[in-house]
Amino acid sequence: MARGFNSEEVHILSLMAQSLNDLCPDADWMLPQPDYSSLIWESPDIEPPSLEEIEAQMIINQQKHDDTRWLRDRIDAYPSVTDQLDMMYHANALPQELQDLLRSVKETYPKPTGI
């Protein structure tokens, strides 16, 4: 049975993969474990980056990740686009054409009573 990764390993694997893509965007490779020693380089015409190069790029990518935390938090906190549109529909805050279209969909597929 294959062992899964914990959240820290997934994060490291993601950072390493992004860093490899940043450093060698045209290369083909596999990274079965969150460890440089597991790197399988499949692009003989492209020199693989060193561990040091990958680690330096990982620091840059981690900083980018940290700098955009607010965005991920905000996305998680917003209601879905569907819910936002429904709120705007019920508040009559949409252009008439969109209001009419949504009303038509609601009439074509009415919500069952009791839900």
At residue 1, the pLDDT reads: 55
Section 44-49 average pLDDT: 97
Task: Compute CA 10 distance to the chain's CA centroid, rounded to the nearest angstrom.
Answer: 13
pLDDT at 57 > cutoff 60: yes
The confidence band for 2, taking pLDDT boundaries of 50, 70 and 90, is low
For 13-38, what is each residue's pLDDT tens digit? 999 999 999 999 999 999 999 999 99
Domain ranges of the chain: 7-76, 79-108
In sign, the C-alpha dihedral spanning 36, 40, 42, 47 is positive
CA distances in angstroms from 24 to 10, 14, 18, 31, listed in the order given:
21, 15, 10, 14
* Distance set, CA 109 to CA 81, 101, 105, 114 (Å): 19, 12, 6, 15
**Cβ pair 13, 5 in contact under 8 A:** yes
- Model-level pTM? 0.68
